Amino acid sequence: MASEVKLPRLGQGMESGTVTKWLKNEGDAVAKGEPLYEIDTDKVTQEVESDFAGVLLKIALREGEAPVGQTIAFIGEPGEEVAAPPEPEPEPAPQPEKVSDTAVSDTPVAAPPAPATSNGRVKASPLARRLARERGIDIATLRGTGPDGRIVARDVEGAQAAPAAPAAVPSGDIESIPLTNIRKTIARRLTAAWQAPVFQLTVTADMTRANELVARARELNPDVRITVTDLLAKVCAQALMRHRDVNVQYSEDALLRFPNANIGIAVAAPQGLIVPVVRGVERLSLAEVAVARGDIVGRARDNKLTAQDLEDGTFTISNLGMFGIEQFVAVLNPPQAAILAVGATVDTPVARDGAVEIRPLLTLTLTVDHRAVDGAEGADFLRTVKTFVEDPALAL
Amino acid sequence: MPELTYREAVRDGIAQAMRADDSVFIMGEDIAEMGGSMGVTQGLLDEFGPERVRNTPISEMAIVGAGIGAAMAGMRPIVEIMYEDFLTLSLEQIVNQAAKHRYMSGGQLTVPLTIRTQGGAGWSPGAQHAQQLEAWLVHIPGLKVAYPSTPEDVRGLLWTSIHDDNPVVLFEHRLLYPVKGEVPEQLEPIPFGKARVVREGTDVTVIAIGPLVHRALDAAKQAEEDGISVEIVDPRTLQPLDEEMLVASVKKTNRAVVAHEAVTRMGFGAEVAAVLQHQAFDYLDAPIERVGAKFTPLAFAPVMEQYVVPHAEDVLAAIRRTVGK
């Protein structure tokens, strides 16, 4: 008799939960205590361990919200039959035409490319299926270019290169994608940010020496991947220590000024924007910043952050340079008073001593909460950041 | 490095083993004065004398049976079966005796016997003198099977066969005898179960044995002109089989063709395909293609013979099917 896996009550007052991902496939062996699936709570995603040992026979709720106590899977002996799941997933509409199986033919004959889906079955190579699984691509949305319309590896790779391929969207229908908790949180906080009166300041910094420093630091720390973001985090922390009036938060009855520079790094994680924090950056070496930043960014991408990773930030850096964005305005990350938007470093002709030279220039745009910081203070801070970026030795 | 023909390399391997060890001797039909029907053993009688280079009656069962007896008595015999078609006459001795004695005696007996034979089409020998029967023997636990494709490989594998304490069937191919190739100055034994990457490539792996190694090389050159990069791997010994290297290559290229001159149906390539689909399933981007002879007895008529056996063009067509161009 198969055991039913029911949606657990993980805390007081929890009425329902959202299953986001299964860590086991149907047919996999499961040990008692082994992580089985992930459930979305308000802030972080949590792994849930199996209460049973056996084989995962059937996943009844692949993803989505369910009330506490609903059966979401069955675990039992291999081959055991389970009762029909309470919420069967919708089957694709069967197609009337019967397609003969040509795969057994000794010499494949050339045939016009056929749609990959026939009788609900997707014709795809094992490699293509594995790549799609690894990259989270629904293989049924792809069009096969292999023999007989088979989906092959290059089709999956093509889908990866063009994620917005129109073929992936069923024509005519508006898709309704349920809000994840993280998406709701992003919406709530950024709407709040819009209520703060802000101003923006922009400078351009010559990255020649900063790039040299990053290159040298990489040589000295071959095991650590040091990036421009790490240098900017360090430089901003030093500048914040000299401009304590920027390292603040506005509250209804007081201005809070912080002793440490806790730098938040905006990360485009698969589940959405998230801003984990590196603490006390003013006390860390460049390599230490890189290690700490690598850790939280990696865990953000793997959806493994804890609530503490997201707390106590005093300043945020958002870098879109890797997308080739040269300049942009970041939205405040409340309750912090400032956020720095970092663009791409671009080789640019500049006038130096009456001659034109090519220099790597970086554009930095600071968004400031005017309730907490005035224009001159913000400008003075940004000038210090520019000075430190152009001549990092001055940050000592 | 000196250059030898495949025929000379076999002869050199036999002679070196006989010089090094008095327990090594050779027997078979017409191998002494005549030097064998394919001329492989020419000159051996002069060097080693009639005691160690022995003509036999026309009885394959007796040839192999005598070899088994001599092997169990402490010798390291090499017996020649003139055509592998005639292996069928000696199968009782090979399958029921040679392959079984070590097992059935609990290891008290060993059968260090090397059975050399040759076959293959391409010179109009007809249905009874050109078969490729390696699949019959790789099916038997207790036998080792080698099918070298180059002079260097045949000399090195022959040495290993002679010095192995188990019965080995070593297949030579009629059309390979005049093929020339460099061999090391000093004979280098080649271990069993070690495949050789004949040519490196990235798009498709051709696993070929015997003459198909050479036809696959021709096909690979043509495929390269179309921008298809072909890797060729020669297992060299069919039993034991270097599954690890074959699987690693297919995991790299994601596509596979198996090629031999024997008929495709139930051939050695079927076993290779089974190994690959099981161990590299999630890496395959196309069905595994098989290349071999059509399922028919071989005709005398040259045009009909050519129609039945696989050529470089057949390997090329299979390569194209895997990559879809």
Least confident of A11-15, A136-140, A262-266, B76-80: A11-15
Nearest by Cα to B267 from B209, B318, B205: B209
> CA–CA separation, B201 vs B254, rounded Å?
11
* Pairing of β B196-199 and β B168-173: unpaired
pLDDT at B307 over 90: yes
Are B254 and A146 in contact (CB < 8 Å)? no
CA distances from residue A295 to A86, A179, A268, B34 in whole angstroms, order as listed: 41, 28, 15, 78
* Arch. (CATH architecture) of B196-323: 3-Layer(aba) Sandwich (3.40)
Name the pLDDT band for A169 (thresholds 50, 70, 90): low
User: Residues of A near B (CB-CB distance < 8 A)?
Assistant: 103, 106, 108, 125-130, 145-147, 152-153
Tokens representing A181 are 């908790």
Tokens representing A49 are 């361990």
Domain with CATH 3.40.50.920 in chain B: 196-323
pLDDT at A42: 60
Each residue of B289-300: pLDDT tens digit? 999 999 999 999
Confirm or reject CATH 3.90.850.10 for domain B3-182, answering yes or no. no
Tokens representing A90 are 């919708």
pLDDT at A395: 86
Is B281 part of the contact surface with chain A (CB cutoff 8 Å)? Answer: yes
Mean pLDDT, chain A, integer:
84
Residue B106 DSSP symbol? T
pLDDT at A84: 58
Return the ∠ at Cα A248 (arms to A312 and A390), rounded to 5°: 95
- Alpha-carbon distance B247 to nearest alpha carbon in chain A (angstroms): 14
> CA–CA separation, A337 vs A245, rounded Å?
10
Q: Nearest residue of A to residue B318 by CA position?
A: A107
Q: Which residues pair with A117 in a beta bridge?
A: A122
Known catalytic residues of B?
Answer: 60, 129
Residues constituting chain A: 396
Tokens representing A318 are 């958002």
Sign of CA dihedral A197, A202, A207, A213: negative
Least confident of A115-119, B5-9, B81-85: A115-119
Each residue of A76-133: pLDDT tens digit? 888 887 765 544 444 444 444 444 443 333 444 333 334 445 456 788 999 999 898 8
Nearest by Cα to A293 from A274, A262, A265, A321: A265
A vs B, Cβ pairs < 8 A, gives 32
Contact B290, B270 (CB under 8 A): yes
Is B270 part of the contact surface with chain A (CB cutoff 8 Å)? Answer: no
Segment B213-228 shows an average pLDDT of: 97
Each residue of B34-81: pLDDT tens digit? 999 999 999 999 999 999 999 999 999 999 999 999 999 999 999 999
Residue A151 DSSP symbol? B
Residue in B284, B321, B324 closest to A127 by CB: B284
Q: Which amino acid is at B298?
A: L
- Find chain A residues with C-beta within 8 A of B321's C-beta: 108, 147
- Which position has the higher pLDDT, A139 or B118? B118
Walk me through the domains of chain A, giving residue ranges and CATH numbers. Answer: 3-76 (2.40.50.100), 117-168 (4.10.320.10), 182-395 (3.30.559.10)
Each residue of B85-96: pLDDT tens digit? 999 999 999 999
- Which position has the higher pLDDT, A143 or B181? B181
> CA–CA separation, A366 vs A334, rounded Å?
14
Tokens representing B271 are 């076993």
Residue of A25, A102, A109, A127 to mutate when probing chain B, most B C-beta within 10 A: A127
Q: How many CB atoms lie within 10 A of CB B297?
A: 11
Mean pLDDT, chain B, integer:
97
Name the pLDDT band for B152 (thresholds 50, 70, 90): very high
Residue in B264, B282, B324 closest to A127 by CB: B282
Contact B276, B247 (CB under 8 A): yes
Out of A370, A371, A383, A387, which one is annotated catalytic?
A370
Return phi, psi of residue A237, to 5°. -60, -45
pLDDT at A98: 40
Residue of B285, B313, B323 to mutate when probing chain A, most A C-beta within 10 A: B285
pLDDT at B198 over 80: yes
Place of tokens 């100055």: B185
pLDDT at A103: 39
- Alpha-carbon distance B282 to nearest alpha carbon in chain A (angstroms): 5
pLDDT at A171: 60
Segment B219-241 shows an average pLDDT of: 97
Each residue of A215-244: pLDDT tens digit? 999 898 888 889 999 999 999 999 999 999
Domain with CATH 3.40.50.970 in chain B: 3-182
Each residue of A280-302: pLDDT tens digit? 999 999 999 999 999 999 988 88
Q: Nearest residue of A to residue B286 by CA position?
A: A125
Is B284 part of the contact surface with chain A (CB cutoff 8 Å)? Answer: yes
CA atoms within 13 A on the CB side of B25: 23
pLDDT at A304: 84
Q: Where do the H-state alpha helices sit in chain A?
A: 126-135, 153-161, 181-194, 208-220, 228-242, 286-301, 375-390
Classify B91 as helix, strand or coil: helix
Contact B261, B210 (CB under 8 A): yes
pLDDT at A372 over 90: yes
pLDDT at B227 over 70: yes
pLDDT at B33 over 70: yes
pLDDT at B100 over 80: yes
